[in-house]
Structure 1
Amino acid sequence: MDRLSTLLVHFGIGADTFHSGPLHGALDTHDLQQRGRVYLLKEGQAGLEMPEGTLRICEPSLIVVPRPLPHRLVAGKADNALVVAASLRFDGGLDNPLAVALTDSIVMPLAQIPMIAGTLDWLFSEAFAEHCGREAVMNRLFELMVIQFLRHMMAYHSMTTGMMSGLADLRLARAMTLVHNHPQRPWTVNEMAVESNMSRASFAAHFHKVVGQTPADYVLSWRVSLAQKRLRDGRPMALIADEVGYESPSALARAFRRKIGTSPREWLQAQAPLRERQTVQPA
């Protein structure tokens, strides 16, 4: 049972390297353009400034800010900070279920993530050399590293609630993965409970405790996320409705409005200015 591949097929991750070398000053977020950030502090110290305060980072660490939240990574000359950084593009933008599932910021010492050690060695060797195609290789390595980090998060139950926490729970993961793979099926709480080998009541209570949503709300959220991606891709509502489990475009539109608060047409129109800004001034 592959808990990540379907997510990554529908809602992939892209990276664009924008800094590699010593950090004397600040990497800020004036050009985030609906993107997150990932930083690798290879040596030295730095401070992560977030609206709720500043975290001092004193050992080699991975820093992930998955959504375009105001923040700065700051270091003075005496900190001897050596940093590699990239912006993160989640397919589906702010509605990407992976981006939504992560906390506002994650800071983890590299020594605690042995799963990514080989990728880090390769990434750092590219970052501080002058090989041909260096930036393209670094971008792909950042993407690979993020996927490996998501694996680590699930393997070590590093999330306390949300989709990633549910996928890390082996009692829930089968039902959730089946929902991801087959959104068109008429899922009921009882059917999901059967797939998890639990009673309906136990499954519903455990799902809500771990994921933070009822099973029905989660199915709705997943279907609407898929519909949003397909709308961006230009697919017609009739096809989308069938693909994500609704008997008609109007049924999908009602579910969409219940979840998002607007009609699919209104939502798609609101996305156009965001896509234009991203095209004109990429992060």
Structure 2
Amino acid sequence: MDRLSVLLGHFGVQAGTFFSGAFCGLEAFGQEGHSGHVHLLQGGRVGLRMGDGSHWSLEEPSLAFFPRPYPHRLESAEGDGTRLVCATLAFGGASGNPLAGALPDYLVLPLKDVPLLAGNLDWLFAEAFGEECGRRAVMDRLFELLVIQLLRHLLAHRGLATGMLAGLADPRLSRALNLMHEDPKHPWTVAELASAASMSRAAFAAHFREVTGQTPADYLVQWRVGLAQKLLRDGRPIPHVADAVGYESPSALARAFRRKTGSSPREWLLAQG
């Protein structure tokens, strides 16, 4: 059972490396734009000040991961020996991406705590501080692989307490979630999903809500709307989108869409610019 491939098939990530080398000074991120960020501290130390007022002093190789735009600032003084590699992140579907939305505003982790990344990081740092041709393109792909490996780490270690990824990390709920992810057109019932999870209907419904924060019905609607947002951004006509995500008509899609986003599909698409 592959818990990530369907998600990444719909909502993959694109990385754009924008910095590698010695860093000294102050730089702010996440104030504008639609991209997330990832910063890798390869050596030295750096201060990381978050939009929520928290402050981190990183003095060992570390990862700072922002899946969505989030205000933060990097600070380093002369003599800190700071060596950074940084990239922007853009998940498919933009603001409608259920995968990015399931992640916290940020994660800050020492690299030693994520051994799964070791081989990729060795290659990425070699490219970042080397002189090989095509290094930027290679680094972009390695950053994208890093995100997938980080998601694997979170699932394997149950790194999130609630939401989609917490559900996928649960051996019973993951079966039901995969069914909804793989076949959103099907009118899934709680009884069908409970059977897939080998649980009673009542136990499944209670456990599903406790872990994901939503009822199974709400989750299915949220997943369908997220898929619809991606298809709309891809230029698909609304009748096609409605059929693809399991609604019998554009008006049925519009009702679900408005319930989750506060706007109609056309209004939402216009607002995306």
TM-score bin, normalised by smaller chain: over 0.9
Matching residue's letter, 1:34: H
Task: Show the counterpart of 1:99.
Answer: 100
Tell me, yes or no, if the aligned pair for 2:30 and 2:70 is still in contact at 8 Å: no
2:105 aligned with 1:111? no
After TM superposition, the score normalised by the length of structure 2 is 0.97
Question: In percent, how many aligned pairs have the same letter?
Answer: 58
Give the 5 Å matches for 1:13-92.
13-29=13-29, 32-52=32-52, 53-92=54-93
Between 1:4-13 and 1:44-53, the stretch displaced more is 44-53
CA shift, 1:246, in A, is: 0.9
Q: 1:65 to 1:218 in 2, by over 3 A?
A: same
Aligned residues: 272
Say which SS state the counterpart of residue 204 (structure 2) adopts: helix
Report the equivalent of 1:213: 214
Once structures 1 and 2 are overlaid, which stretch shifts more, 174-183 or 230-239? 230-239
Aligned to 1:242: 243
CA shift, 1:27, in A, is 2.9
1:157-186 deviations in whole A, cap 9, x for unaligned?
001111111111111001101100000000
The CA deviation string for residues 87-136 of structure 1, in whole angstroms up to 9 with x for no partner, is: 00111112211211111110111111111100000000000011000100
The SS at the match of 2:86 is strand
SS at 2:205 equivalent: helix
Tell me the TM-score normalized by structure 1.
Answer: 0.94
Equivalences for residues 1-283 of structure 1 within 5 A: 1-29=1-29, 32-52=32-52, 53-272=54-273
Aligned AA (2:7): L
The root-mean-square deviation of aligned C-alpha atoms, in Å, is 1.1
SS in 2 for 1:217: helix
Moved more, 212-221 or 71-80: 71-80
Gaps of 5+ in 1: 273-283
Task: Spell out structure 1 runs of 4+ moving beyond 2 A.
Answer: none
The whole-number CA distance in structure 2 between the counterparts of 1:31 and 1:18 is 17
Aligned mates of 1:66, 1:30 — CA distance in 2: 11
Assess if the C-alpha contact under 8 Å between 2:30 and 2:72 holds in 1: no
The aligned amino acid for 1:73 is: L
